[in-house]
Amino acid sequence: MAAPSTEPVPKPRPVPTATSQPFWAALREERIDLQQCDECGTWVYYPRARCSHCLSDRLTWRTVDGAGTVFTYTVAPQPTAPPFADDVPQLLAMVELAEGVRLSTTLVDVAPDAIAIGMPVQPVFDHGDDGTTLLRFRPADRAALH
């Protein structure tokens, strides 16, 4: 039986599709671009070919400022998967942007006991070594920063 590997397990990375590429490209430029339906005005996230409300294919990319609030969260004291063994506790959250869309994310620069549902947050652009930028959030109130 072989000894367990001591090599770190690489973290999963998003794989952009033709439809989601504009979202990921905007993050690299420290912008948040979301789709908005030209027919009914619904904001659409995760990127798709049709509006999730009216099924129109008339979607336009628009830049938003990323202001939001914590909709829900969990503090994971143990890694949720082997690649995240060095990231404990994991501060996992669903953030609702002012436009109404909700994004799964991680919270940074905040102590676990300072997180609260409804807490205002602002975007953080996490530029990875592989060229991928992930969208994370931190408290908008500087007093809550860790």
Domains of the chain: 18-64 (no CATH), 65-146 (2.40.50)
pLDDT band at 6 (very low <50, low <70, confident <90, very high): low
Chain CA centroid to CA 86, Å: 19
Q: Beta-strand (E) ranges in 14-119? A: 32-37, 43-44, 59-64, 68-76, 90-97, 102-106
* DSSP code at position 118: T
What's the pLDDT at 145? 67
Q: In whole angstroms, what is the distance from residue 96 CA to residue 72 CA?
A: 9
Residues 20-61 have pLDDT tens digits of: 999 999 999 999 999 999 999 999 999 999 999 999 999 999
Convert the pLDDT of each residue in 98-145 to its tens digit: 999 999 999 999 999 999 999 999 999 999 988 899 999 999 987 766
* Burial class of residue 69 in the structure, from the number of CB atoms within 10 Å of its CB (0-12 exposed, 13-18 middle, 19+ buried): middle
